[in-house]
Amino acid sequence: MKFKKLSEQQIIISVDRLTRFKPTEEKYVRVFKDIIVSNLIEPKFKKIELDTLNYSSLRDIAVTIFNGSFEKNSKDTSINDFLKEYENSVFKNSDDVNILLDNELDYKSAIDLLQNPEPLNLRWLTRLVSLDKMKKIREKYGILYPIECVILVEGITEETLLPEFARVLGFDFLKYGIKVLPAGGKNQVVKLYYALSEQLKLPIFTLLDKDAVENVEMINNKLRTIDKVYILNSGEFEDLLTKPLILKTLNSEFKNFSTISISDIMRTEPTVKILEEIYKEKGLHEFKKAEFANLVKSQISSEEDISEEIKSVISSIKELATSNSLI
C-alpha cells in the first residue's frame, strides 16, 4: 500500500468528527472514506468503489494511513476500548458497526497535537480515562461528554437559551451531559425524533411550540417509555421571555442608537412580531432570532430574568434526567 501522510490538520479534523455526537456508523464510515480518498495513492479507489468494501477492509486501510502519519506509534488502545464502550452505550450499534469500532487508531499520538481544543468533544478526548471517572470530570469541567440525555427543540432560540436558563437555575447541562439539538421546525422535530428513537439508547426530551399539537400526536405514536414530550402553554419559545429581560436586552444593545420603553413591548402580538416591529420603527437593522437569542443570553443574570414556564420546562428536563438515574 502506498499513501501520503495525513497533515496535522487532517488528523485533528478526523478525531474531531469521530468523537462528535453523531450516529456511530455514519461518522466512522465518512471519516474512514475521507482518509482513504484523500491520502491513498495505491491501490486507488473511486468513491463508488469504497461503497463495495466490507467494513473490515475500510477500517484497516484507514487505520494504516492514519497511524502511518506519525513518526512513532503508541501501542496503547485504552482510548479505543473506551470509545467503543461509550458509542455502544449511546447508540444501538450492529455487529457490523462494531467492526468499525474495533480499531487501533492511534488516539494517544493524535491527542499530543491537540492544544487548548475548542470543541467540547476534543476537550473530552484529551481527558478520557474511564466511564465512571469521566462523569466526575464532566461535572468538574463542564465538558458535556459523555452525553446522557438529548433535548430536541425547534430552533436556535431554544438551543441558545435553554442551557443558559438552566445554568442560572443551578442545573448546568454541560455538567450533566445534556445535549440540545435544534431540528429547524416542528415537522423536522418529528422526523429527527423518529430517527433518534430508533438509534439512540439515551432518553429524549422533546420541546414543541403551542401550535404543534398534531406533531405531538405523531411523536406520541412512537414515544418510548424513557422519553418525554413537552408542549408550551403559550405561543413559541420567544413568548416565554419576560418583558423586563427583553427590555434590558434591547436597551443594552441599542443604547447608542435608540431608547426602548416598556410600553414599546407591552403589546398583544407574539413576541417575535413585536420585536420585528420595534426594529423597524426604531430604524434598527433587521431582526434575526439567532442574533437576538445571543443578546438575551448575555443579559440573563438571575432567576428574576426567568419566566415561570421556562422554570417549568427546566424542571421537567431535570425530572426526566433524574428518573433515568443520570443525576
- How far is 253 from 270, CA to CA, in rounded Å? 21
Other C-beta atoms closer than 10 Å to the C-beta of 286 total: 8
For the chain, the average pLDDT equals: 94
Instruction: Calculate mean pLDDT across residues 195-206.
Output: 97
With bands split at pLDDT 50, 70 and 90, how would you rate the model's confidence at 53? very high
Q: Does 324 score more than 70 pLDDT?
A: no
**Per-residue cell: 29:** 464510515
Q: Which CATH architecture has domain 144-235+307-323?
A: 3-Layer(aba) Sandwich (3.40)
Question: What mean pLDDT do residues 271-296 have?
Answer: 94
Q: How confident is residue 326, by pLDDT bands cut at 50, 70 and 90?
A: very low
pLDDT at 172: 96
Distance of CA 211 to the CA centre of its chain: 25
Give pLDDT tens digits for 165-182.
999 999 999 999 999 999
Name 149's bridge partners: 178
* Cβ neighbours of residue 256 closer than 8 Å, sequence gap 6 or more: none
pTM to 2 decimal places: 0.92
Domain ranges of the chain: 2-133, 144-235+307-323, 238-305
> What mean pLDDT comes out for the span 118-140?
86
Q: In this model, does residue 325 exceed pLDDT 80?
A: no
The answer to whether residue 327 scores a pLDDT higher than 50 is: no
Pairwise CA distance, residues 264 & 260, whole Å: 6
As a whole number, mean pLDDT of residues 13-23 equals 97
Angle at 79 between CA 121 and CA 163, to 5 degrees: 20
205: β partners: 151, 228
pLDDT value of position 55: 97
CA atoms within 13 A on the CB side of 147: 24
Question: Does the pLDDT at position 264 exceed 80?
Answer: yes
- Residue 117, pLDDT > 70, answer yes
| Cβ atoms < 10 Å from Cβ of 284 | 16
Question: Mean pLDDT over residues 61-67, rounded?
Answer: 98
Task: Give the chain's radius of gyration (CA, Å).
Answer: 23
Q: pLDDT higher for 231 or 47?
A: 231
Q: What is the pLDDT of residue 116?
A: 83
The DSSP result for 146-190, as a single string, is SP-EEEEESSHHHHHHHHHHHHHTT--HHHHTEEEEE-SSHHHHH
| pLDDT, tens digit (0-9, with 9 covering 90-100), for 225-237 | 999 999 999 899 9
**Cis before residue 43, ω within 30 degrees of 0?**
yes
Predicted local distance difference test score (pLDDT) of residue 182: 97
